[in-house]
Amino acid sequence: MSARSTKEQAKKFAMFLGYAAFGVPILLLNLFADFYYFWQNNFRSNLKKIIIEKTKSTLSSTSIKDIVNLCNKYAEQKIRSIYSIDFVKTFRSSFSVQENIQFLLFG
């Protein structure tokens, strides 16, 4: 039994040495690469290209009430599940979600 535990301890120690030899240097290389790309993208001259310009939302309290009514309709009919693709298509066509995804995400 002690031979088994010593083999397990040796295996765990070897795994630790492998992590220390390879894992920590890879972690540091990735950390420095992340710093580099972060600073490079923060201070570039054509930064305006990635900024999302704010436009007026067409989402209104009426469209949100319509969404709630649609969900209540499913609840009244005791529909416990629907195909999500049908629900997404209904939202996209009725409420212009595709055009207003920015407002749903960022407010």
- The pTM assigned to this predicted structure is 0.36
Domain that holds residue 89: 61-106
User: 74 or 21, which is more confident?
Assistant: 21
* Residue 11 placed within a domain: yes
The pLDDT confidence band at residue 18, using thresholds 50, 70 and 90, is very high
pLDDT tens string 40-50: 877 776 666 66
Which phi and psi angles does 4 have, rounded to 5°? -65, -45
One domain, residues 16 and 46: yes
What pLDDT does residue 9 have? 92
Task: Please give the full DSSP string across 38-75, using - where no structure is assigned.
Answer: HHHHHT-TTGGGGPPPP------HHHHHHHHHHHHHHH
Helix or strand or coil: residue 85? helix
> Mean pLDDT over all residues of the chain?
77
* Average pLDDT rounded to a whole number, residues 59-73: 79
Q: What is the torsional sign of CA 11, 16, 20, 23?
A: positive
* Residue 55 placed within a domain: no
